[in-house]
């Protein structure tokens, strides 16, 4: 095999492992965040959970382009996590539970936009967009924790009714 082809293959393999490691780190952090949020009644604090949730972006200047890119990447990871949980729930819930979940998600999306808009408007300058995206991440994480509680059979929410 020519040298250049070996180099291209080596780079592709490295990139694949790097992407897998990044996804794995994100999944680990998400799992830690969900556990933290799930234990807020038993000793953890919002500040502890927030630190875990936003750890990848903490060393960056608040509101900078780099910080905003980091937050957007974290939001994308949380969206994937949340969508996977919604799919699991929809395939497991009773028809009534799935209908309630759909209704809840429509209301939640409205709430999310209003809350995050209000939070971002309370900031000035470059921090506005970062505040909006950070709010979305926090809300995604909170809902992911609730959905995880439902999937584990521990939720008392009315939508969390499984098929018989």
Render pLDDT for 149-159 as a digit per residue (tens, 0 to 9): 999 999 999 99
* pLDDT-above-70 percentage for the chain: 86
Number of residues that this document lists for the chain: 164
Percent pLDDT > 90 in the chain is: 74
Tens digits of residue pLDDT in 88-135:
999 999 999 999 999 999 999 999 999 999 999 998 887 899 999 999
How many helices and strands in the chain, by DSSP H and E?
5, 0
Q: What is the pLDDT of residues 56-65, one digit of tens each?
A: 999 999 889 9
- For 158-161, which contacts have Cβ atoms below 8 Å and span 24 or more sequence positions? 158/100, 159/93, 159/97, 159/98, 159/100, 159/101, 159/104, 160/93, 160/97, 161/93, 161/94, 161/96, 161/97, 161/100
Q: Is the pLDDT of residue 141 over 90?
A: yes
Helix (H, G, I), strand (E, B) or coil at 59: coil
Instruction: Report which of residues 113 and 9 the model is more confident about.
Output: 113
Structural domain spans, the chain: 3-151
Residue 17 has pLDDT above 50, yes or no: no
Q: pLDDT value at position 23? A: 55
| pTM for this entry | 0.82
7 versus 63: the higher-pLDDT residue is 63
């Amino acid at each position: 095999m020519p040298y250049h082809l070996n180099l291209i293959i080596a780079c592709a393999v490295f990139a694949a492992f790097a992407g897998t490691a990044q996804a794995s780190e994100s999944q680990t952090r998400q799992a830690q965040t969900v556990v933290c949020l799930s234990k807020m009644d038993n000793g953890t604090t919002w500040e502890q959970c927030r630190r875990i949730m936003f750890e990848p972006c903490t060393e960056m200047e608040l509101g900078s382009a780099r910080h905003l890119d980091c937050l957007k990447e974290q939001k994308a990871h949380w969206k994937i996590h949340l969508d996977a949980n919604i799919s699991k729930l929809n395939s497991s819930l009773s028809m009534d539970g799935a209908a309630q979940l759909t209704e809840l998600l429509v209301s939640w999306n409205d709430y999310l936009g209003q809350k995050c808009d209000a939070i971002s408007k309370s900031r000035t300058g470059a921090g506005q967009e970062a505040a909006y995206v950070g709010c979305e991440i926090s809300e995604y994480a909170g809902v992911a924790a609730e959905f995880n509680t439902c999937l584990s059979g521990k939720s008392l929410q009315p939508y969390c009714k499984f098929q018989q």
